[in-house]
Structure 1
Amino acid sequence: MKLGILLCDDHYPDSIPKYGHYDDAFKRMFEGSSISTFKSYRCHEEEYPSSPSDCDIWLVTGSKWGVYDTDPWIEIVAQFVRDCDEANLPMIGVCFGHQLIHYALGGRVEKSDKGWGMGVYPIETNSQSAASGVVLSHTLNLIACHQDQVLSPASGFDVIAGSDFCPIAITQKSQTALTMQCHPEFTPEFLTQLIERLREKAGHEVVNNAINSLETLGEGDREQAISLIFHFCQIQNR
């Protein structure tokens, strides 16, 4: 199966020698899955696929942008999401990608008044999680870094995990879309160097608490989030 990666950002230039480009993080994450080939499109630099049928599954990545920003490429990717949805082509959304899929399909996304979600934080699965086909722990500790949140999900999506801080954290629409606010492609080491760059913006207390959570919980339940994605991809291959 071929995964199309809709890149909505890239790593900082001085991070690339060690961590590679952003799509490399996803390629590493998909090792051992049913995905055999990848095609990346640098959408934030106006490189787009020609058709939803170019790949078997699509993944919308994270980004420093907000879905409500006016950069033209964001609406182009949003329209591509609508085209995929209309064609029943499977999509995966991560962080900004989670938000963009909901935004494109009629949900509401805003900067949360609860502040930064940064580090490893807990969410709880609910009865809807059984629809994912994967047995998940009741509490999942997942790596995240965001200010924006999905406040109202798009029609047809089940919320399968959330918390008081982030009520709409993981969602699924039948077998055609899986979205999550967390970053399963990030390792604790990568996130630590990323959030150090955000000290001035987020504040020392927020960043210090995030680093403490990473030191205490490590990657948390990252493997469960990855298993959820792997299962979603596997069912597309039946």
Structure 2
Amino acid sequence: MENIGWKRFGVLICAEDSEYVKNIYGGFFGLFTKMLEEEKETWDMYKVSCGEFPKDDELNLYDGFVITGSCCDAYGNDKWICDLINLIKKLDSMNTKILGICFGHQVLCRALGGKVGPSPTGWDIGVRSITLSSHICPSSLDLPTKLSIIQCHKDEVLELPTEAEIIAKSDKTAIEMFKYGDHIMGIQGHPEYSKDLLLHLIDRLTQRNFIMEDFAVGARERAVMLEPDTNAWKRLCISFLKRNPKFVQSKSTC
């Protein structure tokens, strides 16, 4: 029997799970449901990087979607990336909530008319403190001005779409978070990651020659310098997806 009155969300998986991620965390889908799932909700998984997408006539059944990270470039033209961009445009026209993480943050920007590319300062791997906009709502979240988040990316948002707004920055990346309307938000960092998973990914990147060993040593050192504000990020993401239609407002109304 269908769960009447339950909310429904979809996770658009943009990366292949390693055996470690599957065994320890239940895959990337497990990472996001652990962070975001609450009672009376249904969560579906779509492996969009493998060509699995929700059907057009089912989109109105969803309260929101999450777009995950990926090893692929958000400015690439693989068929699945182009199909994902078309899906984002459809969801935007429906004012459906979308939360984009890392690659998801970047591909949202591209789909909405912004520009994405390699970071001019190179890889960012570790735990970094970012500065939030002073008018993120609701005030009941009681968020500090700065939050630490795990980073693992070499690309970034270079130019925002028209009408989008920066809501967080760091000393390395000018656009750590953005929002577009009241229904789309991108986060460059990984609120769903643990430090254990970060260290695993550093090893994988080294083994696949994406980063050199001397850089990996520095990344491991940076990984232990700060603790990510996991609970604060969980509250912030849940609030955006499920609670507040006016997540970011002018200072005078917050």
Residue number in structure 2 paired with 1:210 = 219
Change (3 A) 1:163 1:112: same
User: Match of 1:42?
Assistant: 47
* Structure 1 CA distance for aligned equivalents of residues 140 and 104 of structure 2: 22
Counterpart AA for 2:224: E
Q: Which has the larger radius of gyration?
A: 2
Aligned to 2:234: 226
Contact 1:34 1:233 in 2 (8 A): no
Matches within 5 A, 1:94-173: 94-130=101-137, 134-173=141-180
Q: Deviations over 1:133-160 (max 9, x none)?
A: 7432222211010000001111222211
Aligned counterparts of 1:209 and 1:36: Cα–Cα separation in 2:
41
Q: CA 1:23–1:124 in 2, change beyond 3 Å: closer, same or farther? A: same
Which residue does 2:82 correspond to in 1?
75
**In structure 2, C-alpha distance between the alignment counterparts of 1:105 and 1:132, rounded to whole Å:** 28
> Quick one: distance in 2 between partners of 1:235 and 1:217?
29
Q: CA RMSD in A?
A: 2.1
Change (3 A) 1:232 1:106: same
Provide closer, same or farther for how the CA distance between residues 35 and 151 of structure 1 changes in structure 2, counting only shifts above 3 A.
Answer: farther
Q: Percent identity?
A: 29
Distance 1:236 1:74 in 2: 29
Amino acid at match of 2:41: S
> Which whole-Å CA distance do the structure 2 matches of 1:237 and 1:139 have between them?
23
Q: Secondary structure at the match of 1:167?
A: coil
CA distance in 2, matches of 1:179, 1:209: 27
Q: Secondary structure at the match of 1:23?
A: helix
- Which residue does 2:251 correspond to in 1? none
Distance change in 2, residues 1:110/1:131 (3 Å) = farther
Whether the 8 Å CA contact 2:182–2:245 is kept in 1: the answer is: no
Cα offsets for 1:7-61 (capped at 9, x unmatched): 1112213442223221111111114x46711011111111110123131101111
C-alpha separation between the residues in 2 aligned to 1:132 and 1:105? 28
C-alpha separation between the residues in 2 aligned to 1:237 and 1:55?
16
Cα gap change, 1:81 to 1:14, in 2 (>3 Å) = same
Any gaps of 5 or more consecutive residues in structure 2? Answer: 1-6, 247-254
Whether the 8 Å CA contact 1:120–1:213 is kept in 2: the answer is: yes
Provide the secondary structure at the position in 1 that maps to 2:99.
strand
Provide the C-alpha distance between the structure 2 equivalents of 1:234 and 1:9, rounded to a whole number of angstroms: 25
Q: 1:88 is matched with which residue: 95, 105, 108? A: 95
Q: TM-score, normalised by structure 1?
A: 0.91
Question: When the two structures are superposed, what TM-score results if normalisation uses the length of structure 2?
Answer: 0.86
Q: Say how many residue pairs are matched.
A: 236
